[in-house]
Amino acid sequence: MRARVFVTLKPSVFDPQGTTVAEALHTLGYAAVKDVRQGKYFELDIDAGSAEDATRVAAEAADKLLANPVIESYRIEVDR
Amino acid sequence: MKFAVVVFPGSNCDHDAHYAAEHVLGQQAELIWHKDTSLGDADVVVLPGGFAHGDYLRTGAIARFSPIMQEVKRFAAAGGPVLGICNGFQVLLEAGLLPGAMLRNDSLHFRCEHVYVRVEQTDTPFTLSCDPQQMLRIPIAHGEGNYYADPDVVARLEKNRQVVFRYVDASGRATLDANPNGSVSSIAGICSEGRNVVGLMPHPERACELAVGSADGLALLESAVKAVTEGAFAASR
């Protein structure tokens, strides 16, 4: 099963890279883009019997390694 | 006394630290490969600067799984003096030996220059020989040294006097301009609650001889020698 893990900086944490990307987009004329937050994306191919099992494994992986809970939060999507 | 300098794949200041300990201070020093499982009879452990494991995922994130880190944790828990410099500081944060995390510098620039830091606390094994509020001119070289912790954690660090070094200007003031990376409260280095684990972004080992522009960093390593020889900080074995 394929789990997709999206890791982003917490809303309370300043994201200088995202801010710089937003400024670049404004330079290109995309004034409608109000804000950009940059993050990381992981695809996990997991040997699991159910979507619930795959989600549990992906969440453990995110808690222990993929995300740093001090500065980052994550979201998981699993194909059904 | 003996310094152990841990070598991760991608460390690049390991030999600087080894040189400073052995040739400048005249102490014993040993390079320890990250896959080793013993620190031997080391009195002080140094996690050096560099790009351990290529900084993949996050700075220091993979290094915490290196076999030697179990020993470093044990050594730290036993009260042994541990110094994390730059990438070594990042490893200590990811390993949970110090609180907080590192963000990309607020300027997005890799900053490589000499800065001033003020010694805020002298009751750690790496600042014993310093005067309170002493200013040190030592180099930084990092892209991700923007120290961050939740406000309640920062408040706890301040209350427990765990902020050991702060970025200041030439007159000793912690101004925004003197902060090279956006670190919260101008924090350049902190210590653990037990005070024996210290991490900082600047490189004292690169400032141990006047021939390289500054010898101010020597105070940290001299402090470690004093701490060990006077028995102020030692791992209980």
> What are the pLDDT digits (tens) for B23-49?
999 999 999 999 999 999 999 999 999
Q: Is B190 inside a domain boundary?
A: yes
Q: pLDDT > 90: what percent of chain A?
A: 92
Residues in A touching B183 (Cβ below 8 Å): none
B159 CB neighbour count, 10 Å cutoff: 8
- Cβ–Cβ below 8 Å for A14 and B108: no
Q: Is B56 near chain A, with CB under 8 Å?
A: no
Q: What is the DSSP string of B43-85?
A: SEEEE--B-GGGG-SSTTTTGGGSTHHHHHHHHHHTT--EEEE
Q: Is B236 inside a domain boundary?
A: no
Q: Is B145 inside a domain boundary?
A: yes
Q: Is B25 inside a domain boundary?
A: yes
Q: Least CB-CB distance to B108: which of A16, A66, A70?
A: A16
Q: Is A41 near chain B, with CB under 8 Å?
A: no
Q: Is B234 inside a domain boundary?
A: no
**What residue type is assigned to position B159 of the chain?**
K
Of B129, B202, B112, B192, whose CA–CA distance to B166 is shortest?
B202
Instruction: Quote the minimal CA–CA distance from A12 to chain B in Å.
Output: 9
Q: What is the CATH number of the domain that holds B76?
A: 3.40.50.880
Q: What is residue B234's predicted lDDT score, i.e. its pLDDT?
A: 83
Q: What pTM did the predictor assign?
A: 0.94
A43 φψ region: left (φ > 0), alpha (ψ -120 to 50), beta (else): beta
Q: What is residue B138's predicted lDDT score, i.e. its pLDDT?
A: 97
Q: What is residue B232's predicted lDDT score, i.e. its pLDDT?
A: 84
Q: HSE-up of B30 (CA within 13 Å, CB side)?
A: 15
Contacts of residue B17, defined as CB under 8 A and 6 or more positions apart, other chains included, come to: B3, B5, B29, B46, B48, B85, B205
- Cβ–Cβ below 8 Å for B182 and A17: no
Q: What is the DSSP string of B194-227?
A: TS-EEEESS-GGGSSBGGGTB-TTHHHHHHHHHH
Q: Is B127 inside a domain boundary?
A: yes
User: At B29, which helix (H) or strand (E)?
Assistant: strand B28-33
Q: Is A31 near chain B, with CB under 8 Å?
A: no
Q: Is B112 near chain A, with CB under 8 Å?
A: no
Q: What is residue B235's predicted lDDT score, i.e. its pLDDT?
A: 83
Beta strands in B86-205 (DSSP E): 101-103, 111-119, 135-142, 146-148, 163-168, 187-191, 197-200
SS3 B36: coil
Q: Is B88 inside a domain boundary?
A: yes
Instruction: Quote the minimal CA–CA distance from B107 to chain A in Å.
Output: 7
ipTM metric:
0.85
- What residues in chain A have per-residue pLDDT under 70? none
Instruction: Quote the minimal CA–CA distance from A77 to chain B in Å.
Output: 20
Q: What is the pLDDT of residues B177-229, one digit of tens each?
A: 999 999 999 999 999 999 999 999 999 999 999 999 999 999 999 999 999 99
- Cβ–Cβ below 8 Å for A13 and B149: no
d(CA A75, CA A42): 11
Q: What is the pLDDT of residues B169-180, one digit of tens each?
A: 999 999 999 999
Q: What is the pLDDT of residues B96-133, one digit of tens each?
A: 999 999 999 999 999 999 999 999 999 999 999 999 99
Q: Is B179 inside a domain boundary?
A: yes
Q: Which residue of A has its CA nearest to B101?
A: A70
Q: What is residue B231's predicted lDDT score, i.e. its pLDDT?
A: 87
Q: Is B149 near chain A, with CB under 8 Å?
A: yes
Q: What is residue A79's predicted lDDT score, i.e. its pLDDT?
A: 85
B96 φψ region: left (φ > 0), alpha (ψ -120 to 50), beta (else): left
Q: pLDDT > 70: what percent of chain B?
A: 100
- Overall domain count for chain B: 1
Strands B82-85 and B111-119: unpaired
Residue B161's domain comprises: 2-229
- Domains of chain A with CATH codes: 2-78 (3.30.1280.10)
Query: Which pair of tokens denotes residue A62?
Result: 């995110």
